[in-house]
Structure 1
């Protein structure tokens, strides 16, 4: 075979090899993208409350790569308006924060609104100071009430969850207020655990996850800045940039088989950066954890 022929054969062979390598690389990239897309990550819309109109907020969620949201009530729009925006930005509602008075007095209309936008989980997000029990018996009484509401919701195909802050970490008779409430409510009341508030309540979030793992519906993925810093952001940090020990915390959450990780920041200076960087951090950490 002459030199030109050999060169042509070599060129053809290397071209094919390069093409095969490129295809393998593309397939690996697609597989990695598919794997990360499967992680159940959502954004709590309270994080974006000051980020323009609702449509601007949802557009920011879409740009961040997140595909699900947790709403704050009805987001000040009709069910039809919200549903249209969800379809436009290809987002789903996985939970809605509903105040106690709506659960007590407007349950039917709350259920109807959420059913219209495809959501079937209602979460009690906060207790006003006057509504907070002050002893174990009070927390147990609240638990029984929420257990009854959870039973009503179950008949409608809905579930009820409770979101904590730091005050539920107060201990009465060797158990936290939150545990007294959950025990009294029974298994139908689920928990949306805010790990940053657990930390602020003086407890180890990873250890606490293990205590309540049989009730864990979702985790609010949130971080605390070092004490005395980020005062203009309420002392909170972008996910992964604070003091929580995620290398210990995430395996504990995964063992609990949590349904959703919900990114939240109470007072962000740059809400879009917070959800985008938080999503990247959480996605990469979970990908590494699942590869181990």
Structure 2
């Protein structure tokens, strides 16, 4: 089933459920919660890192209407503790951000933790400056290493993805650093494309997504504020309230066959408002997209 067809069915199902619930006298919040289950939207927990303790963070995700998360490592708890909290708040994990050192040196433990909480995608979120290659050959070498790790994970029923920032958009020998890495890694290494960072790297996210459409696991759905504004939020904006052209970007992401839209903001002043408003924006836009 292709993505537009899925979106149509998601929307139709949500509308039918909402109509039944309205007739039964159920409130708008309950309808919103049910509607939210029909779209592949998640929240990156880094957005909520300063929002109370983990239980308060998960409660905020649930209030926003989102029912899936991407974790930051272990979230500082045991696998059993996280699994219990996920059950309590009716949330599921669709990816976990795992640093390169853990992929290299603690892969078995990382797999075991994520298997316990029901997650089967590990995503490399960031390269420290000293770990970043400086030329095309270095990026290709890193790609081959990540391709080998992806193959090991595949044997365990897991997948590996890579999350970009702006430095992977550097052009080296007529390709971006990210493309050099992906080409060398082979098809098992997937992409979690952060569209705001692509734009900050000087490229058009709607065009760039076509370069990785054969391996697009997810997008980090985030927005950039107008230049010189929102400096206290590192120049990021609530999704749909910034400068990215979502009218062209979302159809391009849709055509690429993305699996998940993951809401993120690097430094929000009001994290719960950011994920709630971001979810409302995405849900509305995806519903509109399914009508086209």
CA–CA distance in structure 1, aligned partners of residues 17 and 269 of structure 2: 42
Structure of higher CA gyration radius:
1
Partner of 2:151: 151
Is this contact kept in 2: 1:218–1:258, CA < 8 A?
yes
CA distance 1:255–1:109, shift in 2 (3 Å): same
Partner of 1:277: 277
Shift of 1:37: 3.0
CA distance 1:85–1:28, shift in 2 (3 Å): closer
Partner of 1:170: 170
Is this contact kept in 1: 2:44–2:70, CA < 8 A?
yes
Shift of 1:26: 2.7
Gaps of 5+ in 1: 1-22
Partner of 1:26: 19
Is this contact kept in 2: 1:103–1:149, CA < 8 A?
yes
Partner of 1:127: 127
CA distance 1:24–1:155, shift in 2 (3 Å): closer
Partner of 1:41: 41
Q: Deviations over 1:137-190 (max 9, x none)?
A: 000000000000000000000000000000000001110000000000000000
Partner of 1:116: 116
Is this contact kept in 2: 1:35–1:287, CA < 8 A?
no
Is this contact kept in 2: 1:36–1:287, CA < 8 A?
no
Partner of 1:73: 73
**Root-mean-square deviation over aligned CA pairs:** 1.7
Shift of 1:291: 1.4
CA–CA distance in structure 2, aligned partners of residues 24 and 48 of structure 1: 30
The DSSP-based 3-state class of the residue aligned with 2:212 is helix
Report the count of equivalent residues.
269
The equivalences for 1:96-107 within 5 A come to 96-107=96-107
Is this contact kept in 2: 1:43–1:61, CA < 8 A?
yes
CA–CA distance in structure 1, aligned partners of residues 80 and 45 of structure 2: 18
CA–CA distance in structure 2, aligned partners of residues 64 and 287 of structure 1: 17
Is this contact kept in 1: 2:36–2:67, CA < 8 A?
no
Q: Which TM-score applies when normalising by structure 2?
A: 0.89
Partner of 2:186: 186
Q: Which TM-score applies when normalising by structure 1?
A: 0.89
CA–CA distance in structure 2, aligned partners of residues 269 and 79 of structure 1: 29
Partner of 1:257: 257
Gaps of 5+ in 2: 1-15, 24-30
Shift of 1:38: 1.5
